[in-house]
Structure 1
Amino acid sequence: MTNRPLAPPYRGLTVGMVALVSLVAFEAVAVTTAMPTVARALHGLPLYALAFGGTLAAGVVAMVISGGWSDAKGPAAPMWTGVSTFCAGLLLAGSAPDMWLLVAGRATQGFGGGLITVALYVVVGRAYPSHLHPRVFSAFAGAWVVPSIAGPALAGLIVEQAGWRWVFLGMVLLTVPAALLVRSGLRRLPSPSATPRPGGARGQLARTGWALGAAASMCLLHVGGQQRGAAAPVLIAAALVGLVVFAPRLLPRGTFSARPGLPSVVLLRGLAGAAFIQADVFLPLLLSRERGFSPATAGLTLTISGVSWFLGSWYQGRWGQRLPPARRLRIGLCTIVLGVATAAACVAPEVPVGICVAGWTFAGFGMGLSYPTMSALTLQLSTPAEQGTNSSALQLADSLFSTTMLAVGGTLFAAWVTSSPTAAYLSGFTIAAALALLGVFVAVRPCRSRDLSRVVGISGAGSGSPA
């Protein structure tokens, strides 16, 4: 029994999947850097928020479709459709003559990326023995590090030297070879289980409809956040109502009551992701606006947390398996709480910035410890016929919670930043801390032995289970 994702039977598949994750990550980072230039060049500043919101919304719909499709037919078809759609979106955005077509291209990219990410989770579940799942997910986390560190500078160089269109067009030239590396591994996957999927085709159609409702609500959140005056709270409130109606239908029953097992894992993913991104957004702004740091220097906190995220992920893949999953999750969430607390402390001018940076390094390590553990648990708590649906629920929770909490935090920040900057920053950090603290209590529930004992027949399951 091999203990390495890069052992000969898995090498091409592992390298190809990590390359695809890196490219999707670089695209997200690079487009964020290039988009101000794009909006000016295409005279499309009013559509700036929609260029991001539309991508996220399309990804939500694609995740739901990819989950059911992967369960029914295997992950190969949604994978290749996702790669094709992702490349088509890149070509459309890179050649767009106006902002509306660029937004359409970005939405197409988001749809393709959503198909790919969920299909990759199912490939991990079916192609690798269970004791390798944490290490493969650690590699996925590492695939985000280099784009996070080098992406902004490289994207800026491409924009300056070759033009913003090559931020999109150049990605196509790299995506196709990465996808071809995955090809042979996909051919060796076992056939989909003959076990009927819960809900069947009718259930999948209903989930797609709910995903469309949630996606529309997410777009409305982004548009509302760009408005001024009375329109902003009305649009944001309508969007939040839509998310409250549609989002719970896309997640496992019992998610919001933290039912032990998979529902708690999904809830924890949403809480951890929303807590981290909430503080991660406000911290550079605090350092640059209130402490006088340059944007580049303030952004170093994000680079440092990205590196520590990778280190935490690498640690849990190598040695963290000696600890039970619940303990790894509790440690991870506690370090996120510590990081948020130190970030909030920097609101006081007398607190040294070094303390904040050190604390946020711990937060990144906690995310690296937690995320691969949650991904591996999701596969372990899923029957083969539900790996796609449950993997999509995990990623949907991350996206939906983060989007909603950022909208709430951004609204409070905008309301208070002029009259009381301290209260404005503390509102965002308080939301982040509350979410992380709630996660600490939820982290005791995902992996009770009786829940794991219900799961049988996972493809490639070995004696070295991550639990």
Structure 2
Amino acid sequence: MSSSSSSSALRSPPPIAAWSELFSGRNGWRALALTGGVALHAVNVHIVTTVLPSVVREIGGLDWYAWSTTLFVVGSILGATLSVRLLAVLGPRGACLAALAVFGAGSAGCALAPAMPWMLAGRAVQGLGGGLLAALSYGLIQLVFEQRLWPRAVALVSGMWGVATLCGPAVGGLFAQAGHWRWAFWFLLPVAAAQALLVLVQLRPEMGVKYARPATPPRVPMLQIGLLAASVLVIAASGLWVDLLRQAAGLALGLAIGFAATRIDSRAAVRVLPRGAYAMSAPLGAIYASVALLLIGTETEIFVPYFLQLLHGHSPLMAGYLAAAMAGGWSAGSLLSSGRSGTGADRMLRAGPVICTLGLLALAWLLPSQEFFGAGFETLLIAVALAAVGLGVGIGWPHLITRVMSLAPKGDEGLASASITTVQLYGMAVGAAVAGLVANAAGLAVPGGVEGAQSAALWLFAGFALAPAAAVWLAYRAVAKRSL
């Protein structure tokens, strides 16, 4: 790690501002303009998670169930990477408007889908727009706010997932129960238009949002991004084979391609991650790895509505809200812990992965069972376990993100901000791809039915608990290195 990043690690962070300062005056309107795009992206995630069982019942494609998330997140990785160049070319307002236009086009494609391949193409375009929106929201935080407002702003952006837990399942569930899942996607278009109007007004230079465009737009590391996308797609494709040996070989090949991407990036002139990001012995590297592992663990969420409907008899609306408990726990944890600093923040970083691991292990026991405790109490336990998984991520999230920003070597600050979303999305993409592989291998489609779903739920949640368990060790290393 460079000396500049080492000195950054030793500097005490500035005192954290109060929430009232973030919401007052121009800061409040800027915060709304930044977070609205993330809210749209998050609501969409919960809408699709809720309606997807209805989608496969109408147009088929159970074998491709996880691909809806996989391709969405692969598109998001590309979008997050392109966000730096888009910002340099179009500025804050133009970049956000372009991202909203791409997202709207993808949503319309999903609404018109006659078959699963069309739906998957629409999801990839949606992901491209969503990745742009998410990366721009994080990237613009350090541009429009003072550093002492960063933790509050990051927590607010994360808190939009809490808003999504209220809106997304309701929209998706109501349309799914009415037999009109396509209208859930059409619903997103007027919301995107309203957000575009807000951006158009509030991110004008006249409103105090100043941005000096570079003389030469930054180059995009397309080789590394292409390899990362290829690694995810190879892992996802390996789940289509029935033979376990071929599945294992596909998984190993996909991970090897991902590792090759990191090796190339560590030596490249145009990088995805800042200098020092691949050194696990350094705090910055440990934090990036923790982000990826925690996000891998949360991708079990994509199968929760399917398991709840098939194994526990819940309606699409109820299943959607229960699945959203994970995002709700994330948002609550992020908002409640954002005011912590120093040793308090260190405790949040240590405790988070432990709570996440315990939540996944509880789900591995609860979801395959059917009325072991009685329907009502069992539903409550499932909701608590799902919320615990999200809470484990959320209580450390503001501190993980702000430390990436503060530990970034001098000159890599902008790259570090954009790369947060890239690492987050790659973790989600790998998680979704492996989740589909594990679920299919455990019998989700063959033999299928209740027996296959019970087996898939057990193996999926028990296996994915290993990811946050590894993050426990990394979090302790990152905190210990910082305190030296």
Please give the TM-score of this superposition, normalised by the length of structure 2.
0.76
**Residue in structure 1 matched with residue 100 of structure 2 by the alignment:** 83
Q: 2:224 aligns with which of 210, 220, 240?
A: 210
Alignment of 1:46-445 (within 5 A): 50-70=67-87, 75-95=92-112, 100-158=117-175, 163-183=180-200, 184-185=202-203, 187=205, 188-192=208-212, 201=218, 204-205=219-220, 207-229=221-243, 232=247, 235-246=250-261, 249=265, 250-252=272-274, 254-255=276-277, 257-278=279-300, 280=301, 292=312, 294=314, 301-317=322-338, 319-321=339-341, 323-346=343-366, 353=378, 357-382=383-408, 386-408=412-434, 410-416=436-442, 427-445=459-477
| In structure 1, C-alpha distance between the alignment counterparts of 2:457 and 2:61, rounded to whole Å | 30
**Residue in structure 2 matched with residue 461 of structure 1 by the alignment:** none
Q: For 1:185-216, what per-residue CA distance to the aligned partner results, in whole angstroms no more than 9, with x for missing partners?
A: 3523333486x99xx85xx34x2222123223
| In structure 1, C-alpha distance between the alignment counterparts of 2:169 and 2:31, rounded to whole Å | 26
| In structure 1, C-alpha distance between the alignment counterparts of 2:429 and 2:195, rounded to whole Å | 30
| In structure 2, C-alpha distance between the alignment counterparts of 1:127 and 1:208, rounded to whole Å | 28
Quickly say closer, same or farther: Cα 1:45–1:357, change in 2 above 3 A. Answer: closer
The 10-residue stretch of structure 1 (166-175 or 355-364) with the greater mean CA deviation from structure 2: 355-364
Deviation at residue 421 of structure 1 after TM alignment:
9.1
| In structure 1, C-alpha distance between the alignment counterparts of 2:463 and 2:92, rounded to whole Å | 37
The 10-residue stretch of structure 1 (117-126 or 367-376) with the greater mean CA deviation from structure 2: 367-376
Deviation at residue 7 of structure 1 after TM alignment:
0.6
3-state secondary structure, aligned to 1:443: helix
The 10-residue stretch of structure 1 (254-263 or 409-418) with the greater mean CA deviation from structure 2: 409-418
Quickly say closer, same or farther: Cα 1:346–1:185, change in 2 above 3 A. Answer: same
| In structure 2, C-alpha distance between the alignment counterparts of 1:332 and 1:384, rounded to whole Å | 29
| In structure 2, C-alpha distance between the alignment counterparts of 1:89 and 1:83, rounded to whole Å | 10
| In structure 2, C-alpha distance between the alignment counterparts of 1:33 and 1:63, rounded to whole Å | 25
| In structure 2, C-alpha distance between the alignment counterparts of 1:12 and 1:71, rounded to whole Å | 23
3-state secondary structure, aligned to 1:144: helix
**Residue in structure 1 matched with residue 5 of structure 2 by the alignment:** none
Q: Which runs of 5+ in 2 are unaligned?
A: 1-16, 266-271
Q: Which runs of 5+ in 1 are unaligned?
A: 453-467
Q: For 1:159-178, what per-residue CA distance to the aligned partner results, in whole angstroms no more than 9, with x for missing partners?
A: 56594443233312111221
Would the aligned equivalents of 1:340 and 1:429 in 2 still touch at CA under 8 Å?
A: yes
Q: For 1:58-101, what per-residue CA distance to the aligned partner results, in whole angstroms no more than 9, with x for missing partners?
A: 21111112135446875444322212211222234434566554
Quickly say closer, same or farther: Cα 1:40–1:449, change in 2 above 3 A. Answer: closer
Would the aligned equivalents of 1:339 and 1:359 in 2 still touch at CA under 8 Å?
A: yes
Would the aligned equivalents of 1:67 and 1:390 in 2 still touch at CA under 8 Å?
A: no
Quickly say closer, same or farther: Cα 1:232–1:255, change in 2 above 3 A. Answer: same
Quickly say closer, same or farther: Cα 1:409–1:148, change in 2 above 3 A. Answer: same
Please give the TM-score of this superposition, normalised by the length of structure 1.
0.78
The 10-residue stretch of structure 1 (37-46 or 24-33) with the greater mean CA deviation from structure 2: 37-46
Deviation at residue 281 of structure 1 after TM alignment:
5.4
| In structure 1, C-alpha distance between the alignment counterparts of 2:475 and 2:482, rounded to whole Å | 16
Q: For 1:287-315, what per-residue CA distance to the aligned partner results, in whole angstroms no more than 9, with x for missing partners?
A: 7777x564666665434333332221221
**Residue in structure 2 matched with residue 457 of structure 1 by the alignment:** none
| In structure 2, C-alpha distance between the alignment counterparts of 1:179 and 1:423, rounded to whole Å | 45
Deviation at residue 369 of structure 1 after TM alignment:
1.0
The 10-residue stretch of structure 1 (166-175 or 148-157) with the greater mean CA deviation from structure 2: 148-157
Q: For 1:364-415, what per-residue CA distance to the aligned partner results, in whole angstroms no more than 9, with x for missing partners?
A: 3222211222222223334685344223322222232333345445544544
Identity of aligned residues (%): 22
| Number of residue pairs the alignment of both structures matches | 443
Would the aligned equivalents of 2:232 and 2:429 in 1 still touch at CA under 8 Å?
A: yes
Would the aligned equivalents of 1:16 and 1:181 in 2 still touch at CA under 8 Å?
A: yes
Would the aligned equivalents of 2:365 and 2:458 in 1 still touch at CA under 8 Å?
A: no
Would the aligned equivalents of 1:26 and 1:147 in 2 still touch at CA under 8 Å?
A: yes
| In structure 2, C-alpha distance between the alignment counterparts of 1:149 and 1:451, rounded to whole Å | 39
| In structure 1, C-alpha distance between the alignment counterparts of 2:199 and 2:315, rounded to whole Å | 38
Quickly say closer, same or farther: Cα 1:70–1:381, change in 2 above 3 A. Answer: farther
Question: What is the identity, as a one-letter code, of the residue corresponding to 1:365?
Answer: L
Question: What is the identity, as a one-letter code, of the residue corresponding to 1:110?
Answer: G
Quickly say closer, same or farther: Cα 1:256–1:449, change in 2 above 3 A. Answer: closer
3-state secondary structure, aligned to 1:9: helix
**Residue in structure 1 matched with residue 11 of structure 2 by the alignment:** none
**Residue in structure 1 matched with residue 12 of structure 2 by the alignment:** none
Quickly say closer, same or farther: Cα 1:41–1:373, change in 2 above 3 A. Answer: same
